[in-house]
Amino acid sequence: MKSDNIKEGIDRTPHRSLLYATGIAKSEMKKPFIGIASSFTDLIPGHVGMRDLERAAENGVYSNGGHPFVFGIPGICDGIAMGHMGMHYSLPSRELIADMIETIAEAHSLDGLILLTNCDKITPGMLMASLRLNIPSVVVTAGPMLSGHYHGKRLSFVRDTFEAVAKFRINEITEKELNGLEMCACPGQGSCQGLYTANTMACMTEVLGMSLPGAGTAIAGSAIKKRIAFESGVRVVDLVRSENLFPRDIATIDSFKNAIAVDMALGGSSNSVLHLLAIANEAGIKLDLKLFDDISKNTPQLTNLRPAGEYFLEDLDFAGGIPSLLYELKNFINLAPVTVSGKSIGEIISDVNYVNNEVIRKADNPYRKEGGIAVLFGNLAPNGAVIKSSGVGQAAMKFTGRAVVFDSEESAMENISKGKIKEGDVVVIRYEGPKGGPGMREMLAPTSQIVGMGLGEKVALITDGRFSGGTRGPCVGHISPEAQEGGPIALVKDGDKIEIDIPNRKLNIALSAPELENRKTKFSKKPKKIDYGYLSRYAEFVSSADEGAIVNRNIRK
């Protein structure tokens, strides 16, 4: 066992002495040492219930003859960080999380890991760490929040808070109604109720095979979630003892293709593209945007969850969860990849005995014939851009409008709030990419304001930043190269004609090549927005969005 590095032999007398100081019994020293990386915090609704899951996972480890050690990992709530300085730190925290788990696991020679996670950047960061370390690991996602209820209607976070602000400003709802929504939209623990980034990544984790069947959708605070945590503790000890199934054996290229297909069938968050690129990188697997688009073109969308639809994550769970979705998608995925449970995808599908086909449609009766994410290319995005096409109405699938340009989210937000954006505009928000932001902020506040004002299909928004999983409408993000690197988005001027063509995967500015080249000769890089601390270092090393905004390029072979 790897932990023998810190507990075996005369030379490790001092090490054992320190371990005994933690309260460990001498009889435990021969057992596998299992780290429980817990992102518990009182700051994030998705994480406040993790103390119960820590206990369940510990009990599972103990029951199977391992010894658990809980250690803390930080997390950021994107909803709380949204629309101010805090959002700069959200995506960069993914790298910190991966680095911290690597550091603790290597420094203490842990034999295996339980990765207790839930929200937007924490889950991908933990997956990145598991593949980098390649020691037996089981991911436990803490589960989605139940829907809120107000005056007989079910509520979800984004539509009934962010979009409600704009509705209040245009007198569509009263202050009393706004206050009622504020108090009722988020009723308790769990990740936000729709198919936003946190829940998308929980589902991706299950499909990749890194969590036990059912983990991706099991409701936060439920008994089944506690049982999954317990069984995960049991299972990681088995994996350590068998020494024949490691993260890189599980998360193979076929597993990633399956995850992309399920992402498309769900109509998941566009952030999943960034995260799957980064996670695959840690496994030494090269994905590219074209693969995402090719799979999307050949995968039917079988669910219609919020923000684009009316179903919630609880509905997906009650309909059979990810195993039932895999069952309906079986002709579009590879059934051979093994999962952390020891079962293959095909074996998991064979256990399915119920599918609610109102929530999870059959492949011959999809919501859309194509998947939920499209990748656009053109003279405005030579290296690609990403849009959650499942959130775009048919009338806006092709959109041509005049550019209204802003060099920051704050500037755009101020003008949107004052009603200065009109039907037919294409809002351009630039210098918000991985380097330019820095940190590639989410643009949920501007997009929610636009939707809440009734302009959701009448105004487009394009950015080298990114969007929340709660975004809907013709909103194109991840434009690469970004403005800070001199990408064409830096050359756009007010009034330029922007053409978005989702069916034909095009994003263009109606300018000739000579005119674009002339503008480029006059381009000068802007100084850093933030030139101190972690964000300054992050901006120096982070890659472009089309590569997953990764920092770690040196992969262990």
In angstroms, the CA 404 to CA 402 distance is 7
- The answer to whether the peptide bond before residue 323 is cis (omega within 30 degrees of 0) is no
Q: Is 468 labeled as catalytic in the residue annotation?
A: yes
Helix (H) or strand (E) segment spanning residue 137: strand 137-141
Closest to 101 in 3D by CA, of 112, 92, 91, 89: 112
Which class for 434: exposed (0-12), middle (13-18), buried (19 or more C-beta within 10 A)? buried
Neighbour count for residue 383 (Cβ, 10 Å): 18
Four-residue CA torsion sign, 390, 396, 398, 403: negative
Instruction: Output the 3-class SS for 99-116.
Output: HHHHHHHHHCCCCEEEEE
Q: Where in 334-471 does DSSP place strands (E)?
A: 374-378, 381-387, 398-406, 425-429, 460-463
Q: 282 CB contacts (<8 Å, ≥6 apart)?
A: 98, 127, 128, 129, 131, 132, 552, 555
Strand partners, 498: 401, 509
Rounded to a whole number, what is the distance in angstroms from the first to the last CA of the chain?
21
Helix ranges (H only) for 334-380 are 345-350
The answer to whether residues 388 and 444 touch, using CB atoms and an 8 Å cutoff, is no
Closest to 468 in 3D by CA, of 45, 118, 75, 79: 79
Helix (H) or strand (E) segment spanning residue 140: strand 137-141
The answer to whether residues 433 and 545 touch, using CB atoms and an 8 Å cutoff, is yes
- DSSP helix/strand/coil, 368: strand
In angstroms, the CA 107 to CA 463 distance is 40
Which one of 468, 480, 543, 544 is the catalytic residue? 468
Residues annotated as part of the active site: 468
